[in-house]
């Protein structure tokens, strides 16, 4: 794709492939070649592409009612809120359109909590290498200078400490008396697939209780079954005060949610926050269908089993590779850290292996396969990556994995 031939802003380094059709974990380009999707739209299409039940829900609801306004009661929104609160142990839900918006709602709840405590300049504790969105507030909360560069001045009100380090949190508590909340990911996806230790999350819960801080968990990438539990924090057996969701909640249809319990659940009053499109009947019906399918097919449990197979396969195939520094993950959320920058592997994986991957932090291959993959597809992901990283492949382009248009149509 040539940018000068496009009217689209240069916000993305797009690959020269356009997909026209999908089914489960497979995609086809305009020429009919088949690809294996190991990123699921970056943890979005967990139920795979073109799921017939999701397509049917979209079609039927589109013929009934798309949008009214949040000034009226929306029955599908009420149903979805009740189901998500039951799954998370939360009490109230606010619906929006994206993960960044969900985190914006959480940040506003934290500030309201601080002002209710008579804290004039409330601070929110966030983590190094964390990622919470690209609005100015969520970008300010994000711990990645490369993503923040050019957008200064950033918003004040954030105290940053190392991830997985309780002592650093304790030191911050002693140094910053105006901290009112902690925002943390149970697995840092953009940060290189780094998993929070269970004791770390439990320790955060204890510290938040001691200091009357809100514990706010960003489940936008790790949530909705991806780590092998419905939500990543559940591996530690804790209950946060605020949980944010998006991505896989709509399986590709835009929807986000900010869930809260206890004192955080009743901080908003009418007029203090809102969303024009958030929680409309179509989005909420799709999300309810996602929950139906995930519950019926035990997809969080399936992600745990397939994730163990994926990590085991990666360790066997690549654990002794001279360029591999570490292989990390939880459930179907895996990262392969290399000893060098490797962003070129995204394009090479497409061209040489017909495989969709991403690279994060510049040196970590990120894998987020659909939760509906079968075992053969998990093994295929491992095999294609092994070929991609083989010494022979680094000597020059390998022949691509071929699937003819005729085979793709079969």
Task: List phi, psi (to 5°) of 222.
Answer: -85, -15
What tokens appear for 126 in the block? Answer: 């966030």
The residue annotated as part of the active site, out of 94, 95, 131, 253, is 131
Which of 158, 151, 109 has the alpha carbon at shortest distance from 134? 151
The residue annotated as part of the active site, out of 218, 253, 268, 380, is 218
What tokens appear for 265 in the block? Answer: 């659940």
Does residue 395 have an active-site annotation? no
- Say if residues 333 and 39 touch (Cβ distance below 8 Å): no
Does residue 218 have an active-site annotation? yes
What tokens appear for 406 in the block? Answer: 């005729």
The residue annotated as part of the active site, out of 33, 247, 268, 380, is 247
Does residue 94 have an active-site annotation? no
- Say if residues 236 and 263 touch (Cβ distance below 8 Å): no
Report the phi/psi class of residue 145: left, alpha or beta, with left for phi > 0 and alpha for psi in -120 to 50: alpha
Q: How far apart are CA 81 and CA 75, in angstroms?
A: 10
- Say if residues 126 and 144 touch (Cβ distance below 8 Å): no
- Say if residues 177 and 143 touch (Cβ distance below 8 Å): no
Q: How far apart are CA 247 and CA 226, in angstroms?
A: 11
Q: How far apart are CA 137 and CA 100, in angstroms?
A: 9
Residues annotated as part of the active site? 131, 218, 247
């Amino acid at each position: 794709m040539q940018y000068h031939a496009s009217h689209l802003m240069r916000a993305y380094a797009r690959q020269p492939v356009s997909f026209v059709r999908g089914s489960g974990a497979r995609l086809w380009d305009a020429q009919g070649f088949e690809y294996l999707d190991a990123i699921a739209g970056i943890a979005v299409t967990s139920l795979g592409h073109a799921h017939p039940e999701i397509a049917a829900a979209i079609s039927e609801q589109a013929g009934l009612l798309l949008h009214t306004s949040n000034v009226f009661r929306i029955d599908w929104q009420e149903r979805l809120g009740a189901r998500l609160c039951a799954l998370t142990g939360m009490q109230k839900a606010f619906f929006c359109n994206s993960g960044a918006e969900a985190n914006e709602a959480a940040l506003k709840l934290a500030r309201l909590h601080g002002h209710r405590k008579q804290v004039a300049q409330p601070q929110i504790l966030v983590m190094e290498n964390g990622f919470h969105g690209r609005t100015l507030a969520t970008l300010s909360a994000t711990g990645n200078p490369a993503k923040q560069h050019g957008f200064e001045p950033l918003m004040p009100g954030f105290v940053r400490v190392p991830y997985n380090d309780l002592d650093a949190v304790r030191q911050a508590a002693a140094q910053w008396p105006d901290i009112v909340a902690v925002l943390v990911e149970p697995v840092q996806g953009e940060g290189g697939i780094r998993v929070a230790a269970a004791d770390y999350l439990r320790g955060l819960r204890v510290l938040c209780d001691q200091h009357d801080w809100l514990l706010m968990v960003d489940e936008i990438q790790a949530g909705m079954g991806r780590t092998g539990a419905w939500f990543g924090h559940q591996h530690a057996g804790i209950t946060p005060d605020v949980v944010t969701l998006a991505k896989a909640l709509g399986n590709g249809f835009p929807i986000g949610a900010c869930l809260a319990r206890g004192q955080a659940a009743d901080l908003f009053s009418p007029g203090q926050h809102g969303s024009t499109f958030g929680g409309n009947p179509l989005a909420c019906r799709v999300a309810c269908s996602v929950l139906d399918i995930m519950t019926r097919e035990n997809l969080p449990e399936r992600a745990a089993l397939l994730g163990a197979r994926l990590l085991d396969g990666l360790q066997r195939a690549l654990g002794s590779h001279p360029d591999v520094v570490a292989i990390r993950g939880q459930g179907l959320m895996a990262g392969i850290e290399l000893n060098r920058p490797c962003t070129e592997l995204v394009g090479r994986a497409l061209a040489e292996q017909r495989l969709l991957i991403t690279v994060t932090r510049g040196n970590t291959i990120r894998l987020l396969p659909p939760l509906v993959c079968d075992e053969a597809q998990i093994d295929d992901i491992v095999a294609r990556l092994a070929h991609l990283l083989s010494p022979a492949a680094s000597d020059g382009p390998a022949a691509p994995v071929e699937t003819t248009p005729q085979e793709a149509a079969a």
